[in-house]
Amino acid sequence: MDRKNILEKGLLTQYLLGELAREDSLLLESEILKDKVLQEKLRLLESDFEQMAMENAIAPPERVRTSLVHAIEKELKQTTIPLQRVPAKTAFNPMRLLVAASLAALFALSTFLFYSRWQTAEENFILAQESQQELQEQLQSLSEEMKETQAVVSVLNNKDAIPFLLKGNSLSPEAKAVAYVNHNNKSVWVNPQALPKLSQEETYQMWADVDGEMISMGLLPTDKELIALTYIDKAVSLNITIEPKGGNDHPTVERLISNVLL
CATH number at residue 195: 2.60.40
Average model confidence (pLDDT) across the chain: 79
Which domain covers residue 185, as residue numbers?
162-261
Q: Which residues are 205's β-sheet partners? A: 219, 241
Asked if residue 188 lies in contact with residue 179, where contact means CB atoms within 8 angstroms, the answer is yes
Asked if residue 209 lies in contact with residue 236, where contact means CB atoms within 8 angstroms, the answer is yes
Cα gap 222→92, rounded to integer Å: 88
Predicted local confidence at residue 261, as pLDDT = 94
- Same domain flag for 184 and 87: no
- Same domain flag for 172 and 113: no
Asked if residue 25 lies in contact with residue 13, where contact means CB atoms within 8 angstroms, the answer is no
**How buried is residue 114: exposed, middle or buried, by Cβ count under 10 Å (0-12/13-18/19+)?**
exposed
For the cut 70, the answer to whether the pLDDT of residue 90 exceeds it is no
135 found inside a domain: no
For the cut 80, the answer to whether the pLDDT of residue 216 exceeds it is yes
Higher pLDDT among residues 58 and 117, named by residue:
117
- Same domain flag for 22 and 95: yes
Asked if residue 228 lies in contact with residue 144, where contact means CB atoms within 8 angstroms, the answer is no
pTM: 0.47
| Domain tally, the chain | 2
For the cut 90, the answer to whether the pLDDT of residue 130 exceeds it is no
> Does residue 244 sit in helix, strand or coil?
strand
For the cut 70, the answer to whether the pLDDT of residue 74 exceeds it is no
- Confidence at 70, pLDDT banded by 50, 70, 90: low
- Same domain flag for 42 and 108: yes
Residue-wise pLDDT for 166-200, tens only, equals 999 999 999 999 999 999 999 999 999 999 999 99
Residues 6 or more apart whose Cβ sits within 8 Å of residue 209: 215, 235, 236, 237, 238, 239, 259
- Confidence at 105, pLDDT banded by 50, 70, 90: low
Q: In the chain, pLDDT over 70 holds for what percent of residues?
A: 70
Predicted local confidence at residue 112, as pLDDT = 59
Q: Which residues are 209's β-sheet partners? A: 214, 237
Cα distance from N-terminal residue to C-terminal residue, the chain: 103
Predicted local confidence at residue 176, as pLDDT = 94
Cα gap 56→241, rounded to integer Å: 77
